[in-house]
Amino acid sequence: MDPITAATHPDPYPYYASLRAQGGLTFDPHLKLWIASSAEAVCAVLRHADCHVRPAHEPVPKAIADGPAGRVFGRLMRMNEGERQRCPRAAIAPGLQDIDPQQVEALVRARFITEDDVDLHPRQFIGPASVVATLLGFSPTQSHLVSELTGDFVACLSPLSQTTQLDAAHRATEQLEMLFRERIDTPDSPLLKRICQDLATDPDSLVPNLIGLLSQTYEATAGLIGNAVLALIRDPALRRTVIAAPKQISPLLAEVQRFDPGVQNTRRFVAAPSEILGATLNSGDVILVLLASANRDPRLNPQPDDFLLDRSNRRSVSFGTGRHECPGQTLALSIAHATLEAMLEREPRWDRLTWSYRPSINGRIPMFSDQSGTQAP
């Protein structure tokens, strides 16, 4: 195992503990990466002004730079520093934080009623981004399409992507851009109206960052829902507890996102010579930031390797920290809560499921199938 393959290893947590024991911020000569594994190092890196989200020499990955997906990528707040991050973030984050969880629940439940498929895969992947699309004013049918296109777009963000996926991502981006331009012409959702007004000074970043909301939702929320399902499959007593008392779904999700996060790591690129916790880093150095390891640091959470529903003062960096901290955290938890609740009410037969992690260098996203190998209920 290494710090990258750890993301999809069956149990990377003892390995993360061994990395922390070597020091919170160490250099891996084989991977040629700095590894931040302790909570202190992870927070120091994510809050450091000179630790940037993209390398200065390659603001957009070469593989997509010349196409529509690259054009969008280059404008995402997630992939920028300075005004290109601050301006869209200031316009978008407040609206996300004000979304009513009851509205989210109603949207998730409406999807369960109107869409008769019972597979876990669409609940986990298509559902969350569809909800965000509906909040941005798309009709239920369009939202489904928008979510599928988002799946094609996010496939280009991984270095593991194949040429056919890159081509599909460019085509999907063009369609998403067109659909959003139509929506913006007659914005009838309060969230979209608010974002359009607040981002009027920076119109070029509007459509890319609306697509960004969908792409940030797609895999990360699938990871949270999937890892919660996995926790319930592994522990039948926990499952019985949660089915008997659905109010336990909130603490369940809070602990799952800490204990076994869907986003295991992120990266930073050093923009100027920096001293971090006694280590000297040079411009161009790359840091692998192990969010999942920080959550298990005993200095962040006592008894970090115990799964405790009633954990007091739970602390987690699964949604990042510092200037790029996730603005969609509350929304993600609301979507996952409503999805899990609706699934559990249908008495799922999850014991028949097999699963494997989706190939990824940073996501820990279980994909389920039933024992015959088909998508699972």
Taking the alpha carbons at both ends of the chain, their separation in whole angstroms is: 32
Task: Give the number of other Cβ atoms within 10 Å of residue 285's Cβ.
Answer: 20
Nearer to ligand HEM, 123 or 324 (CB): 324
Single out the residue of 221, 227, 295, 339 in contact with ligand HEM (rule: CB under 6 A). 221
Q: Alpha carbon 247 to chain centroid distance?
A: 24
Single out the residue of 150, 217, 264, 274 in contact with ligand HEM (rule: CB under 6 A). 217
- Report, in Å, the least distance between residue 137 CB and ligand HEM: 14
Burial 70-100 (b: 16+ CB within 10 A, else e): bbbbbbbbbbbbeebbebbbebbbebbeebe
Q: Residue 91 corresponds to which amino acid?
A: A
| DSSP state letters, 29-84 | TTTTEEEE-SHHHHHHHHT-TTEESS-TT-SS-TTTTTSHHHHHHTT-GGG--THH
Nearer to ligand HEM, 125 or 319 (CB): 319
| Cα angle: 200, vertex 205, 210; to 5 degrees | 95
Single out the residue of 63, 331, 338, 367 in contact with ligand HEM (rule: CB under 6 A). 331
Q: Answer yes or no whether residue 150 interacts with ligand HEM by CB under 6 A.
A: no
Q: Answer yes or no whether residue 266 interacts with ligand HEM by CB under 6 A.
A: yes
Nearer to ligand HEM, 133 or 172 (CB): 133
Per-residue binding string, ligand HEM, 18-47, x by CB under 6 A, is ----------------------------x-
Q: Which stretch binds ligand HEM (CB under 6 A): 57-65, 164-172, 244-252, 259-267?
A: 259-267
Q: Which stretch binds ligand HEM (CB under 6 A): 18-26, 155-163, 278-286, 328-336?
A: 328-336
Q: Answer yes or no whether residue 137 interacts with ligand HEM by CB under 6 A.
A: no
Q: Answer yes or no whether residue 127 interacts with ligand HEM by CB under 6 A.
A: no
Could you tell me which residues are beta bridge partners of residue 286? 269
H or E, element range at 151: helix 140-154
Q: Summarize as ranges the residues that interact with ligand HEM (CB under 6 A).
A: 46, 53, 77-78, 85, 89, 96, 132, 212-213, 216-217, 220-221, 224, 262-263, 266, 318-320, 324, 326-328, 331-332
